[in-house]
Every structure is written in structure tokens, then in C-alpha cells.
Structure 1
Amino acid sequence: MARRRATSRVPGLSEHIFDEALSAQVIIDGDGVVTGWNAGAEKLLGYSPPQMVGQPAAGLLADEIDEEGLRSLAQLPRWDGRIALRHRDGHRLEVNVLAHQRAPDGGRPGEWFLVSALTGLWPEPDDDALASLHHEHASGCLVGLYDTGLRLRRANEAWQRDLAVPPDATRGLRLREYIDHPEMDRVERSMLRALETGEPQFLEVYARASGESREHAWSVFVTPLKGEDGRVQGIGLAGHDITEKYWAHKRLMLLAEASTRIGSTLDVTRTAQELADLAVPEFADFVSVDLLPSLDGAQEPSPGTPRGPVSLRRVAHRSVKPGTFEAVVVPGQVDSYPDGSPPVESLRSGRALLHHATDPAITEWTARDRARSVTVRDFGVHSVMTVPLTARGATLGVVVFIRHQHPEVFREDDLVLAEELAARAAVCIDNARRYTRERATAVTLQRSLLPQALPAQAAVEVASRYLPAGGRAGVGGDWFDVIPLSGARVALVVGDVVGHGIHASATMGRLRTAVLTLADIDLPPDELLTHLDDLVARLSAEGRDAVRPGPGAETAGDVGATCLYAVYDPVSRHCTIALAGHPVPALVTPDGAVKLLDLPIGPPLGLGGLPFEATDIELPEGSLLALYTDGLIESRERDIDVSLSLLRQALAQPSASLDNLCDAVLAALLPGRPADDIALLIARTKALDADGVATWEILADPAAVAQARKDASAQLAAWGLEDAEFVTELVVSELVTNAIRYGEPPIHLRLIHDRNLICEVSDASGTAPHMRRARTFDEGGRGLLLVAQLTAAWGTRQTAEGKTIWAEQILPVNPLAGFTMLDTE
């Protein structure tokens, strides 16, 4: 058996001050075996430490103790009284003994620390000194007098009453010996400093008195007692109970900590967990936070609680024990609480309730719930508080505070503190719930304004990603689009509205609609951005006019946006790009080289007055264009040049698909949730086979119409599109006739066969035809109406040389199959 010598030395104290032989100290383990024996014990009973360590302590008793007495003794935290002991030489001794039961430590079982003073022959300080010391301190203080060996000589009634020890048991003992607590080491060090310096000392002590469950706080004054010659003759110790002030301060500190720790994010689950983490272990041993399941949806919580059992969803809990074994419900699970149970009563009454484990409300509830009954029994739950979570007049859920390991039961002042914590958490949870709901609404709005699916087209292969901002930023105004244009061309669009929130999303929707409309009339990129710039300027003016003080004022004001608009033609493999304050795109050529295009960047949309410039570049077939918003490359953690370098490296990696490439780009630049919205669009260019395009120059002579029809028919036969011959001849005849009659040479006819069949007639005139409905006796005016009826789409676009009129047929369906061809000459 390991030997441990009993000692009460305080580190750093002078050895000549403390005479260990003036008090007998014995340590007995839980099996009644002596494990510690000091010189004072040897002086008292005659046995040396080697003779006693490891021996049964019962052998020292002069009288036997019955089993019932031993069992009752084991339940006490401390005991004092007279014991009859047998000296080594056999004579009997009656000794005053003070015994402290120590809690288990470090896996070792509990033990008893026994001490008995051997002093009694020293002269005691006179009553005048005690009276003088008592006079210096307020009535009710605990006052004790110590000699120069720091052993207690006298104590007032308050000292004996509050410490619950009789004078005979403590006289001649050191403070550390009759109050077995580590804090007493601090007090003895202060007493030593007063003894050596002659200066008074002050300190605060926090300790739990023996047999009490609540920790006490004391302000302790250490006063050197000097004689007429100025020499220190002893030490006066005065203690004032400041427990209520101490606990009030702790409650205020806990509330102050709650203001910084609860509600750090706008997340309901995390906010609830922050409440549980704050309360355990400082305030409770187990805390659970349950919310009404109706809060999971978008509806507002009802003002009342329904009758009968109430279902609650466990959102968070915390325990002093690893694994949270007290929990009957796991987070995310919905449990039913019976009518009359404390959580339901708190919900319905809107009041916090405090119960002891023996209260009928607890016993009746657990009697109907075996799992909770076992928990209460096995963990020794002794007090419970249920506090409703109420915010803005609505009940959100309930918080349950439980103590089982903490020795002190909950009190009324604890209930007040629990209400304060729950009230603070309820507001934060309600804010998080409202934010989550509003954010979900905004994200839904934003996603509804984005393209739900990219349209089918043959010019490019595309993949896209959209990531909303994380954290408190809210939804933004980033968007992208792929817009099929006439002549098998395609427009690629990426834009970004400045700001976040529903206003930014709504503005994005308006700008996207405007781009779709302007693209539909085939405006060149620079002209399209000019019209978009005018729109943004008008929206800004409307926003400034609409600003009024009030809750919605933050949604109005200036509107800013950036945009990239590119048009790619798979026939010529040319791409025309214009920028309005937007990041330049990255180009990956078929050989794997990556570069950022050197393009003129115009001003952001909304500034007005400055032109936009379009740049035309020829792209090899299979080139990659990466278009993105600034959220992809702008970061607080790194410089933008570093981000652009990472972007180039990610794009240079070979990838099986564009979707994989998008994921690789995001993984390289975004290790976590983005701080800003991100739109990413990657397009791989295709080139239309030369065999799929046929072009003819048409003479400005009406007789050339017939030849144009024949050439078109022959080309359709070569493509195997005989079923489209009738409609195509009709379209060619009408468009060529209009160009000859109203346009200017040179006139060209072009047929494009990709996934559809496109017929285009170009001339040098800038005048565009308009479709009108012919009246009954009109001889003309039916041509374009007929073209519009027989084709899927038609339109006009301006070119640098004039205009192009086009019509597109869906293959292979022929809407007039079986009709007879009429000569329209």
C-alpha cells in the first residue's frame, strides 16, 4: 500500500513558524487503514509513522464502535468530539478530535483527515486584545485570535456559530487544519505576511462550508496584534460573509457573458446551443432547449398553446457529463410532453417554474415516462426549472434546467436568472428564425429569377454554378444567362447588382428581363449595355425619390451593377464581348493555355455618359470561356492577383466534363462558404461544319427569285431535308423578293443547317420590314405574316453593312406536308 505522510505545510511559509508536533494529524482511507501519521500523532500516542502506516485505525480505539455508529459516521462530511484512545504503553487517553471527510480525488477513494491539538500550556492573549479586535470590525463578523505560531487561541461566538465547531475542537489548531479547504492556504499566507511585515492584509475567500451545498464568499481582514513595545504578539482574523453579494455578482457576470455569447449568429440551432453551453456547468448540470415544431415552417407561431399533449422538437442540449447521458431525446427528434408536465405548464402559463424532484409535478410526470424516471433515479436529479421561450408575444418553446451533480438545489434567485437567460435567448432565437425565413424567401425569389434550365442551342456547351453568400450578407444580385440568338449564335451573360437583400434580387430580375428583351432584338453587345446603363440610371433615380425614413428605407437608393455580354457565332467562330465594370473573362485555348482576355472595361452600369466598347476575337473550336462575378476572386484572406492565379491554375487542369471543371474552380478558390454571391459560367465553343452553311449572292432582279428557290431546294436535297422544301421555298421567295423590292444590293441568301434550319437574307439597307395584317382587297402585305405562321421564329438584326432578315424552322416536322407548291411569280 502506498504511504502518504500527512502534512499541512503551506508552500513558501517559513519552517520555524509551524511546529508540526503541536497537532496530531492522521489520515485514514475508506477501508479504515492508516495512510498518514505525523510527528504530533507520534507524540500523542507513542507510535512512529512506520509503525502505524498500513495498520487498521480501529486498533487505536480504547472502546469499540458499533456498526450503526460507523454507518452514520460515514454519512457526515465532518465530525468532532472526544474519543478514547489507547497509548502505546497501554494507558487510556481522552482526546478532542476534529475529523474531515475528503471527497474522492484522482480516482482514489475518499479518506478521513483527523486532527487534534496538543497545545494548551501556552499563555492566551488577554481579553482586552480580543475586545479591541472585535471593536475594530462590525458586529456579526467572525473574529479569531492566533498566536505567533498561527494557531487559534480565541474566537468569538459568531466564529463558532457560523463554522459550527465548538471551541474545544479548534483551540490550538491552524486554520488549514480545522477548515479543510485549499483556499485556507491563501489565508495562512496572508497571516504569515502580516506576522512578518506588521502590515494588515485583505483578501476574499470562496469556499463551501462543511455540510453545506452552497459556496460562501468571505472578505477576510488579517490584522497584526502588537504589544506596547510595537512587537507583533499575534494575528487577528476577521471575516465578513459577502455570499449574497458574491452570488449577485456571479449572476450579473453570467448575464453579461450571455449578451456576448448568445446570438453570435443568425442560426436557430446554434443560438439554442449557445444558451445550453453558457448555462452548463456554471449554472446547471443539464440544459435542454425544445422548440415548437410549427416553427420549422414559414408560418408565425400561434399566440397560445393547444390543449392536451404538446409536441416539441429538441434543438440543443448540454450536460456536464460527456455523452449527455441524461438526455431522453436526441437533437432533431420530436417528443410528446403530456398535459400537466412542467414543460407544458410553463408553455401554457408563460411562467418559469421551479420543482424539486420530490414534487408531485415531477413524480407524476416521470411515473408516466419510464425513460425519464430512470434518468431522475440514476443521476440523482434533485431540482428542475422549466422556463418558456417567449419573444414578441409569441411562445417559441421551453428551456429545462436540471441539477444533479451540483450539490445546491435551485433557488428562487436562480429562477430569476434562468428567466433572464431564456428571455435573452428567445429574442435571439426569434431573430434567427425570422432571418432564416426571410432569407429563404429571398433565396427562393432570387432562384426564381435565375434561369431554371439553360436553353438548348448548338453554339456552345455550357455548365454553370450559382452560390448564394453565407453568413449575414444575405442574398445578392448575381445572375447569368445563355440566350440563343438568330443565325445559330448565342449570347453569354454574367451580371452583378451591387448590394444584398431582396432589393438587390428584385433589381437583378429587372435587369435580367431587360437583357433578354434587348437580346431578342439582336442589339450588338456595346449597344445593349448602353440601353442597360440607361435603365440602371432610371432605377437609381426612382430609388432616390422613394427613400423615406422608416423600416424599408434601406431597400431604396442608388442602384449599381456590372455586366458582361458576349455574342458567339459558331459559323465564323467570332466572339464579340463588351464589359460594363465587370471582371474580364478567362480563355482556355485547345492547347491548354490559359489567359485573361485583354479587353476594354467600361464603367459600371448606372454612371451614364461614357461609351462601351465591344471587342471581336476569333476563337478556335473547343476553346473555353470562363465568365464569373467578383465574388469568385475577391477575398479578405488573399490578394486578387493570387485569386486570379488560382483561377488560371484550376482552369488549366484537364477535366472530364465542364461540370467537374466548375467544381474544381470553386474548390480551388472557395475553401468555405462565400462571403459574396458567386455566378460562374463556363462555355466550350463549337464550330458549325462548313457543309452545314450555304451562301448565294442574289442579283437585284425579280427574275432571280426563282433561281434562289431552286438553289435552296437543291441544297435541302443535299442535306436530306426534302420534307422542309415547301416551307423553305416559300420563305426564300418572300424574303428575297422583299430584299430586291425594298432593299439595296448586295443581297445574300444563306441557309444554315444545325439542329434547326435557318434562312437568312441580307442586304445593304438599314430599313427593317414590319409585319402587318392585309385587308381583304389588298394585293400585298401577307408575305411576312405567312412567314411568321409557317416558321418557329423570325426577325431582323442590324449589321455593319445593313440588315439581315431571318426565319427559323424546327426540324424535321413540316407543318404543310402534302400541300401543292404554287408558282408565286
Structure 2
Amino acid sequence: MSAGPPPGRRDARDTRVAVDAALLPSVFGGAPVAMIAVDRDGAVTALTPTAERLLGHAEAELLTRPLHEHLQLQQLDGRVVPAADSPILRALRQARPAAGEGVFVREDGSTLVTSWAFAPTVLAHTLTGGVLTFSDSHAQHAEAARQRERLNTLEEANVRLALLAEVSRVLSEGGEAGDDVVSGLRALAALLVPALADWVTVDVLAEDGTGLERVALAHRDPALRAAAAAHLGPLPPLRPGMTSRLAQVLHGAAPQHQRMPPPAQAPALAVDALARERLALAREFGAAEWITTPLRARGRTLGAITLVRADAARPFRPGDRDFTADLAARAGALLDTTRVLRRQVLRAEQMQRALLPDLAERIGPLELAGLYQPASDLAQVGGDWYDAFGLPDGSTGLVIGDVAGHDLHAATRMGAIRHKLRALAGDRVGPPSDVLARLDRVLQRFAPDDLASVVYARLSTTARGARLQWSNGGHLPPLLLPAQGPPRLLDDVVDLPLGVADLARADAEVDLEGYGPGPVTLVLYSDGLVEHPDESLTSGLRRLLRAGAGLSRTPLRDVGPELLRRMRPTGLDDIAVLTARFALEPGRG
């Protein structure tokens, strides 16, 4: 069975065989794979421990014995391979490598499906034997399957991490949008389809804990998205005693995982109004199973998110429930934060509006109108205010002001400063500069951290006409809309804001009869009307002059809204506007 050595080389061959056999223990002792060494006649000369374990034979049992006699080779279909046809022995005889698949019979009679490879050992052109390496095919396939599963798991984890990052981004943008949290929840639902579910619903409880509204329904099928929109809006209210899975979650239970029963048993799910609505939805859009998870924050349940899969062959996996809970926690935190902020802003805005005066439509011959518009950003509640009041000498005080800051403190301080100014102006009628100087000293003594810009004007009317006197503490100049001629900014004097330094303040004055005959309109406004991040303040004031053109005969109540429409403010700051109009008769003066 062996290929003999070249003529005249018998002694050399025998020496090399001995050398080859001597090397086997050092090579095979630590080999981690299944290997069998044979001599040139096919007798076993060494086994690795892995080969012993796979075959159930100890090395001592097989040494010097013919390989094929004790390691019977079968075809994959179970047919025994005769020694003469053995591809391993044929490769040994021909001194060439070979590989294949086959079945070895273990010591206990069981079979081992293997992938094998044989390599002859040749020293100095002389065949000395060979080495058979083999492995358990089933184990290899199982390991390959495990590797694929691990890779799939890692890939799925990466996808979910990316999805989680995108969800966080979408929700943070929804939070920045403030009251547009519904858009954030709808974007969240759309992101989860089809990566995690075939369709997703988000249901939100009203702050009273009973009213329920579906704010989002996203479906993977474009043809069903239009139909999904019809299911948005109010749902049956949450009532005590409701036992459906959705009701349980809304009552504070843990996430619920439910499978759709067979059609005959499905009506048993309709235990309450919420369950009946959910069952009708499942029948319309298809459902094999779903996970319902609460939107919860600070121990309160604010709603629920439901992920639905319509294909029974694509079931939810154990990690899906935890991942959904993470998403729901983020959405719940956004919803809670928005509601808390909205309540704070509402209280601040209500307080600010309450602190603004109940403006009379007229004070003597003067017609008045006020406008307040809060910032679009929920966090930007500010300290803008206006005021108008009669003074003991028959003149009228007009005020526009802005306390530094955009929070509840600014709104509160605005009310205090407004009342102080009114008290000081009425206590001792004098030039506007004197009133602002006294107010400044009060603030620096009792509220040294307050900073406010103010324009205080006093309009006096006599038989000869009307005179406007004002002092400007760091505020934007009033806008005068003459009955005749272009608008004018009253920028004759501007001093430092109140709260900066105890300095002398100046007055400016103008006789209004030069701007008649007809109605003369004074517009006092806060900086939110003119300031824009993309232009200088000078450019904003020029735009205001253009916007005021043609408004002198517009009904006074419409002047402020029309200025807002023409100026198109950013909404980043709140806006206060006070308009006052005095009709100058022809020939007066």
C-alpha cells in the first residue's frame, strides 16, 4: 500500500521514518484540532486529544493498527466504503493531498459526520506517512449558525442604537418646539415603522387622567396611512373598572404583551370600550401580537405607546419589550416636561396679563389702545409692560417698559415697577425725567439687581394745543404718526436704563399742533417688535418707520396689530405696544 523509495535508498528511507515518528509527540501533544498520523502502510502512529474525544478511542487502542480497520469510513448516505475505495488510503498510496466529507464510526458504534483533509508526509522524496485532519461537521454548522446569530444580534443592536439616537433627536426637537410635542410623538411613531413594528399608536391621557386622545398612528403600508389618519382624535375615556390591556397600562400596570387569538375567540377581548376600539383597529390593519407600554414620568402615567406586528412569522423578541420601554420613558419625559413648562408659562403669562393695566379706551381727549403678545418660545416669558393713567394736573401719563429677563421673576418685577412708577408720577407731578430719577433711586436701594428700560411720557392738553414731554431710560424711541407727513422717531434723548447708575436724566418735548390738523398718534413699543437677529437695530427702526406709514387714520385698535403684521417679528421675545391718539382740530393754536 505504500509507495516505495527510489532504488538503492532503503536505508535512508528507514532512517527518515524513524525521524518522522520521533517528531509526532511534540507536534500532536498540544494540537487543538482532531488529527491522526499514519505511517506509509496506513497504521496509526499518533492521535491528538481532540481526535480521541471525537472518536471515543484512546490513542493506545489504535497505535500500530490499520486506520481503516478501526475507523470505518462511510458515505454520507450510510454506505460503507471498502478499504480499496477509501479516498484517504488512496491519497496515502499516491502521496498526494485530498479532502472530502464522510462519516466515521465511533468506538461506541455511533457515527460522526466529518469534513476531513489528508496530507502526506514526504521526506527527501520518500513517503513516510500522512496526517488526517477532521472536524465535526454538525458542530461546525452549529458554530457557524451561532456566529451568524451573534453577527445578526450585533447588527440589530447597532440598528437599534442608531434608532435610539434618532428618536432622541426627534424628541428633543419636539421639546424645543414646545407645544408642538404632538409632532414629536408622531415622528417617533413613524421612526418605529417598520424597524420595530408594522404599525404604531400613541395615545395620550388628558391632564385630568380620564380623557384620552390618539395623537399618532403610523403604518408601514403607504396605502393604509390615509386610513390611519381617520383614527386620530378622542378615544373612549378611561374609566375605573376597565380591564383591557390598554386600560391596565393607563391605570399604571407594567407593559403588556398580547397575541391576537383565533377569530372565534377574538370577541372575548372586547371587555370594555377601549378594548372594542382596539379590536376594530386590529381587524382593519391586521395584528398578530402587540406590546403596549406606558408613557410615564415622575410616577404618573401620561399615555401609552403600542407596537403591533401583523405577521405571525415575525414575532417580537425578548429584547423588544425592554427597548420599547426605553423609548416610552423618553417620550414620557418629553410629554411631562412640556406639560410642566406649559403650566409654568401659562401661570407666568396669566400673571403678566393680570399685572398689565385694564386700559381705558379714553382718558379725557386721549384715545388709547394696548396690545401684548407673548413670545412663541414657551420659556421666553418676559417683563414687557405698558401703562396709561390720568395725573392730578389733568395731564396723562404714558409708559412703556421692559424688565430684563425672560422668566417668572421678570414678570413679577414688572408689576412691582409699574406700580411704583404710577405712584411716584401721581404723588408729585413733574417732568418725566424727575419721575424716572426717583424710580431709579428706589430700585437701586430696594431691588439692586433689577434692570429696566422705560419711556415715561406726559401729554398735556390746553386750549392752545397739546404738548408731549418724555424721558427715555435706555428704551427704544417712541414712534409719532402725524396726521400730515411721514412717521417720525422721537429720539431726541436717550439715557441709561434704570438700575445702572444714579445719573441726571433729561427731558425732551414736542408741540403736537405742528403735526395736525387731524389725528396724531403716538406708538410706544418694546424691542420684540423691531429686533431681528439678521439685522442691526438701526435697520429695524427704519423698517418701523416704513411700517408706520399710512396708519395715522387707521382705527386705533388696529394700529398695533397692523404694525405686527407689517414688521413680522421673530416671536423670540414678547411684545408690548401702547398707542395713544389725540385729534388736533383745524385752526387750533
TM-score (norm 1): 0.50
Tell me by how many angstroms 1:610 deviates: 1.1
Tell me by how many angstroms 1:244 deviates: 1.3
* CA deviation vs aligned residue, 1:766-794 (integer Å, no higher than 9, x gap): xxxxxxxxxxxxxxxxxxxxxxxxxxxxx
Question: Does the CA contact (< 8 Å) of 1:462 and 1:658 recur in 2?
Answer: yes
Question: Does the CA contact (< 8 Å) of 1:650 and 1:665 recur in 2?
Answer: yes
Alpha-carbon distance between aligned partners in 2 of 1:127 and 1:668, rounded to the nearest angstrom = 89
Which among 212, 216, 221 is matched to residue 316 of structure 1?
Answer: 216
SS of match in other structure, 1:325 = helix
Partner of 1:364: 268
* CA deviation vs aligned residue, 1:113-169 (integer Å, no higher than 9, x gap): xxxxxxxxxxxx9853899xxxxxxxxxxx9xxxxxxxxxxx966898899xxxxxx
- The answer for unaligned runs of 5 or more in structure 1 is 1-124, 132-142, 144-154, 164-215, 220-238, 302-309, 542-557, 694-825
- Aligned pairs for 1:479-498 within 5 A: 479-498=385-404
Question: Does the CA contact (< 8 Å) of 2:202 and 2:214 recur in 1?
Answer: yes
Question: Does the CA contact (< 8 Å) of 1:388 and 1:397 recur in 2?
Answer: yes
SS of match in other structure, 2:450 = coil
Matched, 1:290 2:203: yes
Matched, 1:569 2:471: no
- Aligned CA distance change for structure 1 residues 579 and 128 (closer, same or farther; 3 Å): same
- Aligned CA distance change for structure 1 residues 311 and 500 (closer, same or farther; 3 Å): closer
Alpha-carbon distance between aligned partners in 2 of 1:127 and 1:540, rounded to the nearest angstrom = 96
- Aligned CA distance change for structure 1 residues 468 and 607 (closer, same or farther; 3 Å): same
Alpha-carbon distance between aligned partners in 1 of 2:266 and 2:540, rounded to the nearest angstrom = 60
Matched, 1:248 2:139: no
* CA deviation vs aligned residue, 1:606-654 (integer Å, no higher than 9, x gap): 1122111011211134222221111111111333233222211111034
Q: CA RMSD in A?
A: 3.4
- Aligned pairs for 1:227-626 within 5 A: 242-264=151-173, 265=175, 266-267=178-179, 268-293=181-206, 295=207, 311-322=211-222, 323=225, 325-326=227-228, 329-332=231-234, 335-336=237-238, 339-358=242-261, 364-366=268-270, 372-404=278-310, 408-454=314-360, 456-521=362-427, 522-541=429-448, 558-571=449-462, 572-619=465-512, 620-621=515-516, 622-626=519-523
Question: Does the CA contact (< 8 Å) of 2:238 and 2:247 recur in 1?
Answer: no
Partner of 1:201: none
SS of match in other structure, 1:499 = coil
SS of match in other structure, 2:492 = coil
* CA deviation vs aligned residue, 1:225-247 (integer Å, no higher than 9, x gap): xxxxxxxxxxxxxx775111122
SS of match in other structure, 2:405 = strand
Question: Does the CA contact (< 8 Å) of 2:171 and 2:334 recur in 1?
Answer: yes
Alpha-carbon distance between aligned partners in 2 of 1:290 and 1:606, rounded to the nearest angstrom = 50
Letter in 2 for 1:578: S
Tell me by how many angstroms 1:399 deviates: 1.6
Alpha-carbon distance between aligned partners in 1 of 2:200 and 2:378, rounded to the nearest angstrom = 28
Tell me by how many angstroms 1:257 deviates: 2.3
- Aligned CA distance change for structure 1 residues 244 and 638 (closer, same or farther; 3 Å): same
Partner of 1:798: none
Letter in 1 for 2:534: E
Tell me by how many angstroms 1:350 deviates: 3.0
* CA deviation vs aligned residue, 1:421-451 (integer Å, no higher than 9, x gap): 0111111211111111111111111110001
SS of match in other structure, 2:358 = coil
Alpha-carbon distance between aligned partners in 2 of 1:130 and 1:661, rounded to the nearest angstrom = 93
Alpha-carbon distance between aligned partners in 2 of 1:503 and 1:387, rounded to the nearest angstrom = 39
Alpha-carbon distance between aligned partners in 2 of 1:425 and 1:563, rounded to the nearest angstrom = 43
- Aligned CA distance change for structure 1 residues 637 and 431 (closer, same or farther; 3 Å): same
SS of match in other structure, 1:262 = helix
SS of match in other structure, 1:644 = helix
TM-score (norm 2): 0.68
Tell me by how many angstroms 1:685 deviates: 2.0
Question: Does the CA contact (< 8 Å) of 1:353 and 1:386 recur in 2?
Answer: yes
Partner of 1:658: 556
Tell me by how many angstroms 1:370 deviates: 5.5
Tell me by how many angstroms 1:537 deviates: 1.4
Bigger drift between 357-366 and 393-402 goes to 357-366
Letter in 2 for 1:686: A
Question: Does the CA contact (< 8 Å) of 2:243 and 2:271 recur in 1?
Answer: no
- Aligned CA distance change for structure 1 residues 240 and 316 (closer, same or farther; 3 Å): closer
- Aligned CA distance change for structure 1 residues 158 and 665 (closer, same or farther; 3 Å): farther
- Aligned CA distance change for structure 1 residues 335 and 402 (closer, same or farther; 3 Å): farther
Bigger RCO of structures 1 and 2 (CA < 8 A, at least 6 apart): 2
Partner of 1:196: none
Alpha-carbon distance between aligned partners in 2 of 1:325 and 1:444, rounded to the nearest angstrom = 40
* CA deviation vs aligned residue, 1:769-824 (integer Å, no higher than 9, x gap): xxxxxxxxxxxxxxxxxxxxxxxxxxxxxxxxxxxxxxxxxxxxxxxxxxxxxxxx
- Aligned CA distance change for structure 1 residues 371 and 341 (closer, same or farther; 3 Å): closer
SS of match in other structure, 2:282 = helix
Partner of 1:684: 581
Matched, 1:128 2:34: no
Tell me by how many angstroms 1:384 deviates: 0.9
Alpha-carbon distance between aligned partners in 2 of 1:349 and 1:393, rounded to the nearest angstrom = 9
Letter in 2 for 1:248: A
* CA deviation vs aligned residue, 1:65-85 (integer Å, no higher than 9, x gap): xxxxxxxxxxxxxxxxxxxxx
Which among 623, 629, 634 is matched to residue 526 of structure 2?
Answer: 629
SS of match in other structure, 1:642 = helix
Partner of 1:726: none
Letter in 2 for 1:624: T
SS of match in other structure, 1:263 = helix
Tell me by how many angstroms 1:382 deviates: 1.0
SS of match in other structure, 1:641 = helix
Letter in 1 for 2:485: G
Alpha-carbon distance between aligned partners in 1 of 2:253 and 2:334, rounded to the nearest angstrom = 18
Alpha-carbon distance between aligned partners in 2 of 1:689 and 1:516, rounded to the nearest angstrom = 34
Question: Does the CA contact (< 8 Å) of 1:580 and 1:601 recur in 2?
Answer: yes
Alpha-carbon distance between aligned partners in 2 of 1:580 and 1:496, rounded to the nearest angstrom = 10
Bigger drift between 259-268 and 509-518 goes to 259-268
Alpha-carbon distance between aligned partners in 1 of 2:214 and 2:579, rounded to the nearest angstrom = 44
SS of match in other structure, 2:321 = helix
Tell me by how many angstroms 1:459 deviates: 3.2
SS of match in other structure, 2:158 = helix
SS of match in other structure, 1:607 = coil
* CA deviation vs aligned residue, 1:689-708 (integer Å, no higher than 9, x gap): 999x9xxxxxxxxxxxxxxx
Tell me by how many angstroms 1:324 deviates: 5.1
Question: Does the CA contact (< 8 Å) of 1:326 and 1:375 recur in 2?
Answer: no
Alpha-carbon distance between aligned partners in 1 of 2:164 and 2:293, rounded to the nearest angstrom = 16
Question: Does the CA contact (< 8 Å) of 2:472 and 2:495 recur in 1?
Answer: yes
Which structure's residues are more often helix, by fraction?
2
Question: Does the CA contact (< 8 Å) of 2:455 and 2:473 recur in 1?
Answer: yes
Tell me by how many angstroms 1:407 deviates: 5.8
Letter in 2 for 1:459: P
Question: Does the CA contact (< 8 Å) of 2:345 and 2:379 recur in 1?
Answer: no
